[in-house]
Homo-oligomer: A and B are copies of this chain.
Amino acid sequence: MPLPRRLLVANRGEIAVRILRACRDLGIETVAVHAPVDAGAPHVCLADRALPLPGDSPAEGYLNRAALVEIASRCGAGAIHPGYGFLSENPSFAAACEAAGIAFVGPPASVLRMCGDKAEARAAVEAAGVPVLPGSGPVDDAEVRRAAEAVGFPLLIKAVGGGGGKGIHLVRSPDDLPGALRLARGEAQTAFGDPRVYLERWVERPRHVEVQVLADAHGGVVHLGERACSVQRRHQKLIEEAPAPGVSPRVREALLESAVRVARALRYRNAGTVEFLLDGDAFFFIEVNARLQVEHPVTEMITGTDIVAAQIAVAGGAPVPFSQEDVRPAGWAIECRISAEDPHGGFLPSLGRIDGVIEPQGPGIRVDSGFRTGCVVSRHYDPLLSKVVAWGRDRSEAIARMRRALAEYAISGVDTTIPFHRWAIEQPAFLRGTYDVRFAEDWDGAAPSQEAERLAAVAASAWLRRRAAAQPRDGHGAGPASRWIAVAREEGIR
């Protein structure tokens, strides 16, 4: 089954870079698209061809289905990879691609529609004999109260068209229902263009475990093992690892088997993730993420596979390029998501220009970045800057290497979640592998150690002395070469 000769990546940032790398490795020519602010962005530089999206808006171009299909057709791309977010789970985009004779690298429209309707997917999975949490179908404002009482408090409001933690709100009591509903609908509309939401029972301290599956058009379904993703904040994952710690072989086996059953029940195709909540040894299906996941590298690191390459092959009609027996996980992998957010300020977005960076390297470390020196972090896009993945022969080696990588990582220009991660991997619950989804609530960025305060005072006075010494140089300190660099960097912003 031939691979496409040319593929268009309908995304930006680290995931576009990731997909471009897979194409390079497969010898597939690549086409990047970009909004005006993204000319010169990393994903543009790594593609063989780069074409501008229509319009001036930073985000709308990446959501412009007609323009993307038209560009792909015009430049002879035989496939489109949507990445995650944007149009990745949009059935009509998948349908438009197929109608134009372009392979959509993801599930077919029918499967996207099924998985995208979280309520319908729940029902199908339940029918297949996989346990699900109590929940409702899509609710309107009038009936929400009654539906909520049926599900029971506390509960979650989730977007029917959702995924990626967007639009999810926890409601502890009937009083909070109207406000949360309003916010959830607003976010769902913004993120997915669909204001529908549904309710689901909230488990107090569950663990989040998911299974990576790959399915082809010939009935082949292979799982690539599970991932633990319980380090979350506001339903956004922060740290993921594979295998999942603290899961007994019996439960793991049942999870993996259930995930394959879910994929078959939904007639799934391409790469997908079946998400479960674990409550003790009991587990419940929550949803299928019908796309490439942010955290797919941890699975790649322990299996030696290239999930994006497999996606492209399967999208072309090929069977999954390996059998279940070929998948022999080795070692342990952990991923930390590095976002431009201020962990000491409520994880609010931190915007600005990145004027310098040192990224971790060395044995066992993989970094997937979507930025570089000179990039501007704006409010228009997801704050994810990069992902650090550490592999070790066992969990403790993986943690040790992650500790080292986080110590090496230096980003200048914006606040990032690196300090949070440095904290997280040292917590007893993390080191023991017994953490649950409430783990990140213990982060308290407001209490520096005495030692940190002492060092900060020393650093601050050294910094002030240094600046005082540098100031008289104004006007003649930087030679022409330096000046030229500065100009180049300024121009690199766009």
Interface residues, chain A, with chain B CB atoms under 8 Å away:
17-18, 21-22, 24-27, 46, 297, 300, 304-306, 330-331, 355-356, 358-359, 361-369, 372-373, 392-393, 397, 400-401, 403-404, 407-408, 467, 470, 473-474, 477-478, 480-490
Contact = CB atoms under 8 A, between A and B. Distances in A.
Given A361-B366, A362-B18, A27 B486 contact: no
A25 B400 contact: yes
A237 B35 CA distance: 44
Contacts of A393: 304-305
Given A18-B363, A24-B407, 15 more contacts: A21-B404, A22-B363, A24-B403, A26-B400, A297-B363, A306-B397, A359-B359, A362-B366, A365-B366, A470-B484, A477-B483, A477-B486, A478-B478, A478-B483, A482-B490
Contacts of A358: 372
A361 B358 CA distance: 13
A479 to B, nearest CB: 8
Contacts of A367: 361
B366 A400 contact: no
**Which A-B residue pairs are the 4 nearest by beta carbons?**
A482-B486, A478-B486, A24-B404, A21-B362
Nearest to A483: B478
A306 B407 CA distance: 20
A397 B361 contact: no
A452 B373 CA distance: 28
Contacts of A372: 358
A393 to B, nearest CB: 6
**This chain: copies in complex:** 2
Contacts of A356: 373, 485
A344 to B, nearest CB: 23
Contacts of A27: 400
A436 B483 CA distance: 47
29 contacts: A17-B362, A18-B362, A21-B404, A22-B363, A24-B400, A24-B404, A24-B407, A25-B397, A25-B404, A26-B400, A27-B400, A304-B330, A304-B393, A355-B481, A355-B485, A356-B485, A358-B372, A359-B359, A359-B361, A361-B368, A361-B369, A365-B366, A467-B484, A474-B483, A478-B490, A482-B486, A482-B489, A482-B490, A483-B486
A26 B18 CA distance: 31
A26 B404 CA distance: 10
Contacts of A467: 484
A400 B487 CA distance: 35
A25 B401 contact: yes
A110 to B, nearest CB: 31
A99 B73 CA distance: 74
A385 to B, nearest CB: 13
Contacts of A401: 25
A149 to B, nearest CB: 49
Nearest to A304: B393
Nearest to A478: B486
A477 B487 contact: yes
Nearest to A367: B361
Contacts of A306: 363-364, 397
A364 B21 CA distance: 10
Contact of A21 (B21, B363, B482, B485): B363
Contacts of A364: 25, 306
A478 B46 CA distance: 28
Contacts of A485: 355-356, 486
A483 B467 CA distance: 12
Nearest to A25: B400
Contact of A331 (B17, B304, B361, B480): B304
Nearest to A26: B400
Nearest to A473: B487
Nearest to A485: B355
Contacts of A408: 46
A237 to B, nearest CB: 20
Contacts of A487: 470, 473, 477-478
